[in-house]
Amino acid sequence: MKKGLIYITGGARSGKSTFAENLMLDKGHRILYIATALPFDGEMRDRIKRHRRRRPSFWHTLEAYRDIGQSLEQKGERYHGILLDCVTVMITNILMDMGCAQGIPVPEEIDRIEAAVMSEIDSAIAGLRVWGDLGVIVSNEVGMGIVPDNKLGRLFRDIAGRANQRIASAADSGYLMVSGVPMRFF
């Protein structure tokens, strides 16, 4: 059984989640799926339902985008595999929690927000390593397109890019998904 931490990135609808789920299928029955999405509208509720239908019914689910490491510690259960899907949704939720929906934060607030995101990333990585034989982290690659035309978009892209770099540096292997094709890059 493969062990360690795998990082999967790629564009929207590139097949990241399906590939990550397929990696977990032969890991045993003790699989934990950490879902970071919030059902804030009808389209997102439908998307969450599709993801749930795709997963085996015996997988455990933790719906969380903050305190993931602490949640795993509180559960106190080891898993054959833990899948965190998706970091960029997690970052969006944290940005909204920290007031970014009300306006663009001042530079001092930006530093505080990014520090909070990185703390959550570090906690999640540590939790996956401690409580799972195999950890898989899924995140969108948001830096390969045009520069966003608004400050909040650029803030999100910058924080997500740095978070992805942090995850990649902690991972044992990584895949870039392009049109459903996994390309291993380390």
Catalytic residues: 51
The residues that bridge with 31 in the sheet, in sequence order, are 81
Measure CA 41 to chain center. 20
Measure CA 53 to chain center. 19
Up-side HSE of residue 81: CA atoms within 13 Å toward CB? 22
Give the C-alpha separation, 100 to 60, whole Å.
32
Q: Give the residue ranges of DSSP H helices in the chain.
A: 16-24, 42-54, 68-75, 87-97, 107-131, 151-170
Give the C-alpha separation, 123 to 86, whole Å.
15
